[in-house]
Amino acid sequence: MRSRMGLISAVFVGMVAVACVTFAQAPPPASPAPALAEPELFVPSLALIKDKEGKYTLVALTYMPNSCYRAILAKEGFPAKETESDAEGVQLIIKTRDPGKLCAKMKWPVIHQLAGLKPGKGKTMIWAYVVQDGKVQGKAKVSLSSARDINSLVGDEVPAPF
């Protein structure tokens, strides 16, 4: 009698467990979730942080076509043949590794950072140009009004450029 009672209890517990798992599963979505936007190659995503003395720090995240690309330097100034009257310019210099090296064929992120930017009077934005071998590969702009104040950042909160 006891073994029959134990068997019935075990079956009952198993049935309850199956019912709980079945009802706990999320219903299938009515429509597929929208796909995330693919990052555009050579076009930087920009974030701006306002420092204490009225200076800015620019952080740029740019996706490259493979892992052979490297971030070399970020410097102030417009590249040749590029100007904007109401903006400051920044060059994000990239370089590729030796052609004999293997590269991962995937979108590869590179990050540039430039601190101490002090835009001139009347400037309202910063243009960032991705430059490789003297040629502009991509560009983006960020408004000075979108800058986050460094005093308002708490803990590990860092404005992400993406």
pLDDT, tens only, 105-134 = 899 999 999 999 998 888 899 999 999 999
pLDDT reported for residue 77: 94
Strands of the sheet containing 56-64, edge to edge, are: 108-117, 56-64, 45-50, 148-149
pLDDT, tens only, 63-101 = 999 999 999 999 999 999 888 888 999 999 999 987 778
pLDDT, tens only, 37-61 = 788 999 999 999 998 788 999 999 9
Rounded-to-integer distance, Cα 95 and Cα 68, Å: 8
What is the band of 10 on the pLDDT scale with cuts at 50, 70, 90? Answer: very low
pLDDT, tens only, 71-81 = 999 999 999 98
Tell me the sheet residues that pair with 60. Answer: 46, 112
pLDDT reported for residue 90: 96
Q: Is the pLDDT of residue 20 over 50?
A: no
- Token match 């002090």: residue? 118
Rg (CA), the chain: 27
